[in-house]
Chain A
Amino acid sequence: MKQAYRVLAFLVAAGVMLQAAAVAYGMFGLLKWVENGGTLDQSTELTPDLGGYTGFSLHATGGIFVVPLIALLFLISSFFGKVPGGVKWALIVFGLTVLQVALGLFSHEVAGLGWLHGLNALLVFGTAVMAGMRVTRAVANKVVAAEPVPAATVS
């Protein structure tokens, strides 16, 4: 279960990386599309014709479904993982993920929240990596601890 915890933690981090990459591609794709004569207004629909479509749809699906689901599974794995402090870290990652989804959704109403959405993404990424690394470190420590202690030399 420790390994599941570790893998899920890194999957959350990987998800954040993909989210950032997708939305960046989306923005540039959209700008290029507008440059080439596309019109962006209220009637513009998220269809494959839209520039940057792949980026936006990945970001939307990833942000509302995939990453929260991984974070939820990560939290559940922490209950069984017996990682010291594991539940605490999983709660932090999960809480920040929920905050991230909320910020993403409410940024559509209050654009200023977009600043926090971008910054909080780094927090989700950072805490998820930390949580994963803690298992790696804990396992390493255990291995070190399990090595036979050299016997005191008797002169």
Chain B
Amino acid sequence: MHLNEGTRRRLKIVLPIVATVAIVAPLAWLWQASLLPKSYSVMDMGYSDFGGGPGNEPAASDSHGHGHAASPGTRSVVDLTADAARQADVRVDLVAAQADLVIGGKSVAGYTLNGTSPGPTITARQGQLVEVHLRNTSVPTGITLHWHGYDVPAAMDGVAGVTQDEVPVGGEFTYRFVADRTGTYWYHSHQVSNEQVMGGLFGALIVLPVDADRAGNDVIATAHTYGGKKTINGAATDLRVAAKAGQRVRVRVINTDNGSIEAWASVPYRVLAVDGYDVNEPADVPGRSVTLTGGARADLQVTMPSDGTAVRVQVSKGTAVILGDGDPPPPPQPAGDLDLLSYGSPEALGFDAAKANRHFDYSVGRRPGFVKGRPGLLWSINGHLYPNVPMYVVREGDVAIMRIDNHSGDVHPMHLHGHHAVVLARNGVAATGSPWWVDSLNVGDNQSFEIAFVANNPGVWMDHCHNLKHAADGMVAHLMYEDVSTPFRIGGAADNQPE
């Protein structure tokens, strides 16, 4: 091919420009496409995933549906509340403030509830109606309270931009729910949650059986890392609790951190409950630790030795609960952790997972791209980056199976709001122990889980990674009931930022 001088000169000018555009344009397009509007509804995010159940076609009762289950629902989350006429049995006032915390002699910028972090423990008896009145005096980015692991009515779930607007400085909000289940739970802010939970906006929620005698044999150990310092119940020292020889003590360990922790004891222990739900016929666990993923709880029971020696319950390597008098040496960390897949004895689940009519996939990967205009190697859900993630759609009464698999190179504590799910299998191996109910599931790299849940709590629910840093980076999907919608929006005038 022969080019004349003029063409060649023109090419010399055009080619560099073409090459530049060829490089910059796709990047600019990807960047631009990842920007989010100033305000949007989670209901408009991504795409509907019906899990093979009804919803693709208009339901018989639905006269106007055109293949969009995400069409405006007939119920709003704000109406999904506890019985408004019922009087509260437990009333708690919580005042949130920005403050400098003193952790292990060091000052750490953070937040308090009623002047402390963790905030006060909220204790109720099963069946009582709990009413928590939240006031924000000085948390500049606003605050909400989410009842982690407690399957409250949707309006009370405390997720900014999904179930309510954030509570600004000077604002207030009242949470009401019936404490219908016993167990160990916690509450935390779900507005700018990574930063606010890290800074201390959380506390324990304990629901006791009606007839329980708690005196002296029930310990709460809330593990949290403030400014790099490991603490139990806000103190960077071991927690000392009196205990008599032969006494059985229940230690309720709550992991409020993003990363998982291990717990173990200097004597064999039993795991009485996981994520608030009792384990059926738990046996002694010798020589193993129990893993608590981010947001998870485990109730450990130890029996004090008859010779009166003290017992150490390690809550990760740095901190411990010391039961009884004395200073027992820290027990070495067990090499392996307890496999809850085969722990305890099977019992009826209360529903038939084989009759599941929704089958969802929640596949976590990692790929380069942009989220919210920021480039990086980002978490993907079913191959997509936020906000192009699935909206899992169910109908009340459905039984859903969700297959979670993780090939992202990192661990993810998966947390579904409003529901407890039972683990059916891990890496294809069926569960053989006690029903393993979870709200916070540790999904390791190259692991897969099959979990099942009953759609028995209508609402619009987050289904996200409880490593709140990952959530802030876009590892957030939602579960919605086909007839429920939310009027709240992410961003907007209220500046809702759930992560």
Contact = CB atoms under 8 A, between A and B. Distances in A.
Interface of A: 33, 37-39, 41-45, 47, 49-50, 64-65, 72, 75-76, 79-80, 105-106, 108-109
A64 B368 CA distance: 11
A64 B375 contact: yes
Contacts of A43: 225, 230, 257-259, 261
A47 B227 contact: yes
17 contacts: A37-B104, A42-B259, A42-B261, A43-B230, A43-B258, A43-B261, A44-B225, A44-B228, A45-B228, A45-B469, A47-B227, A49-B108, A50-B228, A76-B23, A79-B15, A80-B16, A106-B409
Q: Which 6 A-B pairs have the closest CB atoms?
A: A42-B259, A79-B16, A43-B257, A109-B409, A43-B259, A49-B227
A44 B20 contact: no
Contacts of B246: none
Contacts of B257: 42-43
Nearest to A108: B409
Nearest to B467: A42
Interface string B207-243: 0000000000000000001011110000000000000
Q: Which of the four size classes fits the interface of chain B?
A: 20 to 34
B227 A39 contact: no
Nearest to A40: B228
Interface in B1-34: 15-17, 19-20, 23-24
A50 B108 CA distance: 12
Contacts of B20: 76, 79
Chain A interface helix/strand/loop/mixed = loop
Interface centre among A33, A38, A45, A75 (most CB of B within 10 A): A45
A106 B409 CA distance: 9
A75 B261 CA distance: 46
Interface centre among A39, A80, A108, A109 (most CB of B within 10 A): A39
Chain B interface helix/strand/loop/mixed = mixed
A106 B16 CA distance: 33
Given A49-B108, A76-B24, A108-B409, A41 B259 contact: yes
Contacts, number: 64
Contacts of B445: 109
Nearest to A50: B228
Contacts of B113: none
Given A42-B261, A50-B228, 20 more contacts: A33-B228, A38-B229, A39-B228, A39-B316, A39-B317, A41-B259, A41-B261, A41-B316, A42-B257, A43-B230, A44-B225, A44-B259, A47-B198, A47-B227, A64-B376, A79-B17, A79-B19, A79-B20, A105-B377, A106-B409
Interface centre among A33, A42, A65 (most CB of B within 10 A): A42
A39 B319 CA distance: 10
A108 to B, nearest CB: 7
Contacts of A49: 108, 227-228
Contacts of A41: 259, 261, 316-317
Contacts of B317: 39, 41
Nearest to B319: A39
B225 A39 contact: yes
Contacts of A65: 375
B105 to A, nearest CB: 10
Nearest to B27: A72
A75 B198 CA distance: 41
A80 B23 CA distance: 14
Interface centre among B19, B108, B411 (most CB of A within 10 A): B19
A50 B317 CA distance: 18
Contacts of B260: 42
A64 B15 CA distance: 29
Contact of A38 (B19, B198, B228, B409): B228
A6 B238 CA distance: 59
A39 B261 contact: no
Interface in B308-363: 316-318
A42 B228 contact: no
Contacts of A33: 228
A79 B18 CA distance: 10
A54 B274 CA distance: 39
Nearest to B230: A39
A43 B258 CA distance: 6
A44 B229 CA distance: 9
Contacts of A44: 225, 228, 259
B297 to A, nearest CB: 16
Contacts of B104: 37
